[in-house]
Amino acid sequence: MAVLLKRDEFPPVLQCMLNHQECVSHMLFVGPPGSGKTTTAQSFAMAIHGKTTNSFSSLLFLNSSDERSLDMIRNKIYPFVESRMQSLFFQGKVPPKVIIFDEAETLTDQAQCALRPLLQKPTSEIIIIFICNSLSHIHPQILNKFLLIPFVPTTTDRLQSIVKFRVPALDTLFRRGDIRFFKQCSSQHTQITRFLVKILHVESADVLYTLLTEPGTPIRDRVAWFLLLLQYIVPLTKKEVSLWSSITSSDTQAYICEKNVKQILFSLWKRAMNSLIQEMV
């Protein structure tokens, strides 16, 4: 079940819209991953519709990285907007339909422009919410139709209050890093994310070496993923980066035993993790 926010947990501008729904507009949530954009969008839709919200008639949530084409807009969005099923679930005044586009920056230009007629409709009929990490790929022809709402990284305390259980500070810091900036190709997104989560919780030199040498990806690529994560959070010195690189190079590995590689890599890993921990204190 998705975690939903209470009304008093919404940003002030959204609280104002809920209290004065004639002021609702199309919105563009922009900010780093883990800052609460998706949770806020879904919670806002639930607050607008109440307990009668359902994905068939009133709420449509799309991950634009999977469904980003012009055909998707024609075959899924417009039929949803034109459907009259919503009247079956509400008594009295029917609230607006809400369409949420997660990772909206991945929509093609043609797909974004095809939304212009919908963005010109009154928000008493339809509300469109774009969720993205950057505005650089939002088409300028539709950008001015949205109210821009920026999000900042979620603090540890805030994240704990939302999910209702203790969150390790290190996990929070990791969540605030934009892993999508580190991926080297789209097909490796899940693999990179899982690897980085595991490497933050290594307990021994053997475990670290096993993670770095798992079949499927060269050790240099895995080390590069980890270094990019560190560079994003707490930059390493050039000396440290050079040492990581030299130890994992194929030329070096031919002249150094596996045991020494394990120990040196683990020593470098501990220094890097100590830097992370100091940043959080």
**Interval 133-143: pLDDT, tens:** 888 889 988 99
The torsion region of residue 125 among left (phi > 0), alpha (psi -120 to 50) and beta comes to alpha
In eight-state DSSP terms, residue 127 is E
Domain hosting residue 221, numbered range? 167-280
pLDDT at 225 over 50: yes
| Same domain (yes/no): 69, 134 | yes
| Same domain (yes/no): 71, 180 | no
Residue tagged 């940003």 (tokens)? 11
pLDDT at 130 over 90: yes
The distance in angstroms from the start CA to the end CA of the chain is 33
- Strands, sheet with 97-102, edge to edge from the N-terminal-most edge strand: 59-63, 97-102, 126-132, 27-30, 147-150
> Where a domain ends, among 119, 152, 185?
152
| Same domain (yes/no): 128, 25 | yes
Q: What is the pLDDT of residues 46-102, one digit of tens each?
A: 888 775 555 556 788 887 666 677 888 888 888 888 876 665 566 667 778 889 998
When pLDDT is averaged across residues 207-228 and rounded to a whole number, the result is 79
User: What's the structural domain count of the chain?
Assistant: 2
> Where a domain ends, among 117, 152, 187?
152
| Same domain (yes/no): 95, 226 | no
Q: For 37-68, give one letter per residue: b (16+ CB within 10 A) or e.
A: bbbbbbbbbbbbbeeebeeebbbbbbebeebb
Structure confidence at residue 202 as a pLDDT band (50, 70, 90): confident
| Same domain (yes/no): 183, 248 | yes
| Same domain (yes/no): 117, 174 | no
Answer whether residue 1 is part of any domain.
Answer: no
Answer whether residue 157 is part of any domain.
Answer: no
In 22-179, which ranges are continuous DSSP H helix?
A: 37-49, 70-72, 78-82, 109-113, 116-119, 140-143, 156-163, 169-176
| Same domain (yes/no): 227, 192 | yes
Distance from C-alpha of 145 to C-alpha of 116, rounded to nearest angstrom: 9
| Same domain (yes/no): 31, 147 | yes
Distance from C-alpha of 157 to C-alpha of 169, rounded to nearest angstrom: 9
In the chain, which ranges are continuous DSSP H helix?
A: 12-19, 37-49, 70-72, 78-82, 109-113, 116-119, 140-143, 156-163, 169-176, 189-199, 205-212, 219-233, 238-248, 250-253, 258-280
pLDDT at 26 over 90: yes
Angle of the 169-176 helix axis to the 156-163 helix axis, nearest 10? 100
Distance from C-alpha of 258 to C-alpha of 208, rounded to nearest angstrom: 13
pLDDT > 90: percent of the chain = 10
Answer whether residue 2 is part of any domain.
Answer: no
| Same domain (yes/no): 53, 175 | no
Of how many residues is the chain composed?
281
| Same domain (yes/no): 273, 148 | no
128: domain CATH number is 3.40.50.300
